[in-house]
Amino acid sequence: MADLKVNIGRLELKNPVLTASGTFGYGEEFADFIDLNRLGGIIVKGTTLHHREGNAYPRMAETPSGMLNAVGLQNKGVDYFIEHIYPRIKHYDSAIIVNVSGSIVEDYVATAEKLASLDKIPAIELNISCPNVKEGGMAFGTSCPGAKSVISAVRKVYPGSLMVKLSPNVTNIAEIAKVAEDEGADSVSLINTLLGMAVNAETRRPVLSTITGGLSGPAIKPVALRMVWQVYNAIKIPIIGLGGIMNATDAIEFFLAGATAIQIGTANFIDPQVTIKVIEGINEYLDRHNLKSVKELTGALQVVK
Amino acid sequence: MKKYIKDLQVVNKQILSAEYYLLELSSNQPLPEVLPGQFAEVEITGSDATFLRRPLSVHDVDYDKNTISFLVQIVGKGTKHLANIEVGKILNVIFPLGKGFELIKSSENALLIGGGCGIAPLLYLARHLKKQGVKVSTLIGVRRSSQLIELDNYKKYGDVLITTEDGSEGTKGYVVNHPVFENLKQYKKIYTCGPEVMMKAIAKRANESRVDCEVSLENMMACGIGACLCCVTETTEGNKCVCTEGPVFNIHNLKWQI
């Protein structure tokens, strides 16, 4: 049994497998299928300062090797989370991380401040990359000044571990990652969904109510790997890689490209037990390759020059 | 209710028509309790053209044989691929999911209305209703008589009434054109599943007659367990997941214009 522990700045995870926000509810939804205490971390549904109803149905389209979603951050707001959900999930022996989103900088700051008071939330993931909200979200994550404004403001009020979730809908993701590092983020997670679209040829209508939505699943894995590699070569803070990871081999590929930990997202919809299989598969890989720690894999891609 | 993920074996497959087939799956362990109206998320094994599981209504559960069956309509690549599965093969199934129908009490009358593949969840419902002494009538609406399937199974639990759009059998027209709608008050409750336009027409008539009515929705889903929030419907309490708060809803909890 190899050592699966990893460090994300000051945050130690028992293993490098986390669940991606918006694909795992609050964890409880999966309690019938897996032991949640075995996960490295659970990143809960995107949380905003106020209640959000999300977008109209239809919010989902199946696409080749993936899916589009346009949920639009449906959630009951941070106060509801703190009062009703946090007490139910705080006992899990897994890092509970809250994904924080907003329309304006002040909302991100207010939400992060409230979460900072919770003992069992060691980190937040700052979502500056949601493609499904009209204001804010991705707008912050697609320009360096936008990213800087929200990250620096949240950093001032949030003393815990700050993970910044990056958008792939940019020309140069390394630039945005550098801004996150410079503004004091403890880590970056990438990638959020790629902006996409589905059309019904028979009805001549868009499939999603919002016309465009976020593409996820194995279809985006090559893009995600490329971006993790580019960011790994640009910054020093840890990277949490995600985008189409379906099994342990996919996870290993992300480590080799530069990720310290990974998140599993869309795969949870197809196999609610996939996270545990990935943890076991990583362990098996490490044993097979005579590696003592998963940390040895980060950035270990062998590039012939 | 606890949810399970299990490998089930296909023990029977019947091609019922060009569009419909029946799959009967067996477990090597006793099947858990499944309520009428609940559904399952079935993995579409070996299909490159699809990515997600497919939500299928539970058509029937036979605890003596330890089998669960699904009546499936070929509507897209997933259900088409699944139609080719051979007896003996394994399907990975997550079940039972969602909330089922609310059953009425003995000696009351229930009208079950299925449009097309919407009849799928009504067989197991009819079985439960009859078992507790409810008088069941099932109204089945299809386009043409060649689409009528499984009638003998429904007849085991009560009367079967039919409408066809082309008049090839039963009353000509849509389900709401059936004479039974002239005296809806004889029923304590209406249960329906089928195309939304049909269910809305039924809901309007049920509402006018002050008869309680539950509808089973078929919104597109990804996870089926309340994690992705993709399958929502607008309710009086905001957007709710059809997979966990439904698929069965009382019409008064939906924001339908009826």
A23 chain-B contacts, CB cut-off 8 A: 223, 227-228
Check CB contact under 8 Å for B50 and A63.
no
Return d(Cα B165, Cα B141) in angstroms, integer: 8
Check CB contact under 8 Å for A60 and B220.
yes
A59 chain-B contacts, CB cut-off 8 A: 229-232
Closest Cβ–Cβ partner in B43, B226, B229 for A71: B229
Check CB contact under 8 Å for B51 and A270.
yes
Return d(Cα B168, Cα B164) in angstroms, integer: 6
**pLDDT score of A253:** 98
Closest Cβ–Cβ partner in B222, B227, B234 for A67: B222
Peptide bond into B36 cis (omega under 30): no
Give the domain range for residue A179.
6-297
Q: What are phi and psi of B171, to 5 degrees?
A: -75, 135
Q: Determine contact: A94 vs chain B, CB below 8 A.
A: no
The residues of chain A scoring below 70 in pLDDT are 134-136
> Rounded to a whole number, what is the distance in Å from the CA of B2 to chain A's nearest CA?
6
Closest Cβ–Cβ partner in B49, B94, B228 for A23: B228
> Rounded to a whole number, what is the distance in Å from the CA of B52 to chain A's nearest CA?
6
Closest Cβ–Cβ partner in A33, A45, A69 for B230: A69
Nearest to A60 by CA among A275, A269, A220: A269
Does residue B241 contact residue B234 with C-beta atoms inside 8 Å? no
> Rounded to a whole number, what is the distance in Å from the CA of A64 to chain B's nearest CA?
7
User: From chain B, which residues contact A within 8 Å (Cβ)?
Assistant: 2-5, 43, 49-53, 94, 219-223, 225-234, 238-239
Q: Which two tokens stand for residue B137?
A: 């009538």
Angle at the Cα of A205 (from A199 to A206), degrees rounded to 5?
Answer: 50
> Rounded to a whole number, what is the distance in Å from the CA of B225 to chain A's nearest CA?
6
Closest Cβ–Cβ partner in A69, A217, A273 for B51: A217
Residue A121 domain flag: yes
Residue A171 domain flag: yes
Residue of A20, A95, A130, A220 marked active site: A130
Q: Same fold for the domain at B4-97 and the one at B109-253?
A: no
Return d(Cα B60, Cα B154) in angstroms, integer: 11
Does residue B194 contact residue B118 with C-beta atoms inside 8 Å? yes
Closest Cβ–Cβ partner in A57, A270, A273 for B219: A57
A74 chain-B contacts, CB cut-off 8 A: 229, 232, 239
A63 chain-B contacts, CB cut-off 8 A: 51
**pLDDT score of A135:** 66
Q: Determine contact: A33 vs chain B, CB below 8 A.
A: yes
Q: Determine contact: A25 vs chain B, CB below 8 A.
A: yes
For chain B, what are the domain ranges?
4-97, 109-253
Could you tell me which residues come within 8 angstroms of residue A17 by beta carbon, excluding any fewer than 6 positions away?
Answer: A39, A40, A41, A251, A261, A262, A264, A275, A278, A279, A282
Return d(Cα B107, Cα B122) in angstroms, integer: 19
Does residue A28 contact residue B224 with C-beta atoms inside 8 Å? no
CB atoms within 10 A of CB B165: 14
B243 chain-A contacts, CB cut-off 8 A: none
Closest Cβ–Cβ partner in B50, B94, B221 for A272: B94
**Residue A182 belongs to a domain with what CATH number?**
3.20.20.70
State how far the alpha carbon of A39 is from the alpha carbons of A36, A105, A150, B1, in Å.
Answer: 6, 31, 29, 23
Question: Please, which residues 233-292 of chain A have a Cβ atom closer than 8 Å to chain B?
Answer: 266, 268-273
Q: Which two tokens stand for residue B13?
A: 């497959």
Q: What are phi and psi of B94, to 5 degrees?
A: -105, 125
B220 chain-A contacts, CB cut-off 8 A: 58, 60-61
Could you tell me which residues come within 8 angstroms of residue A69 by beta carbon, excluding any fewer than 6 positions away?
Answer: A22, A59, A60, A132, A193, A213, A214, A216, B222, B228, B230
Return d(Cα A200, Cα A198) in angstroms, integer: 7
Quick check: is A144 catalytic?
no
Average pLDDT, 10 consecutive residues per value, chain B (258 residues): 97 96 96 98 92 98 97 96 97 98 93 97 98 97 94 96 97 97 96 97 97 97 97 97 98 94
Q: Determine contact: A69 vs chain B, CB below 8 A.
A: yes
Q: Which two tokens stand for residue B238?
A: 């905001």
Return d(Cα A39, Cα A19) in angstroms, integer: 8
CB atoms within 10 A of CB A33: 20
Check CB contact under 8 Å for B230 and A71.
yes
Q: Which two tokens stand for residue B198?
A: 């049909």
> Rounded to a whole number, what is the distance in Å from the CA of B115 to chain A's nearest CA?
22
Could you tell me which residues come within 8 angstroms of residue A197 by beta carbon, excluding any fewer than 6 positions away?
Answer: A68, A206, A208, A211, A212, A213
According to DSSP H, which parts of chain A are helical?
78-80, 86-89, 105-116, 138-141, 144-157, 173-182, 221-232, 248-257, 267-270, 274-288
Which three-class secondary structure state does DSSP give residue A165? strand
Check CB contact under 8 Å for B51 and A63.
yes
Return d(Cα A276, Cα A291) in angstroms, integer: 20
Cα nearest neighbour of B237 on chain A? A53
Q: May I ask the CATH architecture of the domain B109-253?
A: 3-Layer(aba) Sandwich (3.40)
**pLDDT score of A138:** 76
Which three-class secondary structure state does DSSP give residue A216? strand
Residue A38 domain flag: yes
Check CB contact under 8 Å for B230 and A29.
no
> Rounded to a whole number, what is the distance in Å from the CA of A59 to chain B's nearest CA?
5
Return d(Cα A111, Cα A100) in angstroms, integer: 7
Element (H, E) at B128: helix B122-131
* DSSP per-residue codes, B171-221: EES-GGGSGGGGGGGG-SEEEEES-HHHHHHHHHHHHHTT-EEEEE-----
- Number of CB pairs, chain A paired with chain B, less than 8 A apart: 87
Q: May I ask the CATH architecture of the domain B4-97?
A: Beta Barrel (2.40)
Could you tell me which residues come within 8 angstroms of residue A293 by beta carbon, excluding any fewer than 6 positions away?
Answer: A2, A3, A4, A5, A286
pLDDT tens figures, B134-165 = 999 999 999 999 999 999 999 999 999 999 99
Number of domains in chain A: 1
Does residue A6 contact residue A16 with C-beta atoms inside 8 Å? yes
Q: Determine contact: A152 vs chain B, CB below 8 A.
A: no
Does residue A121 contact residue A131 with C-beta atoms inside 8 Å? no
Residue A303 domain flag: no
Return d(Cα A125, Cα A142) in angstroms, integer: 17
CB atoms within 10 A of CB A10: 10
**pLDDT score of B26:** 98
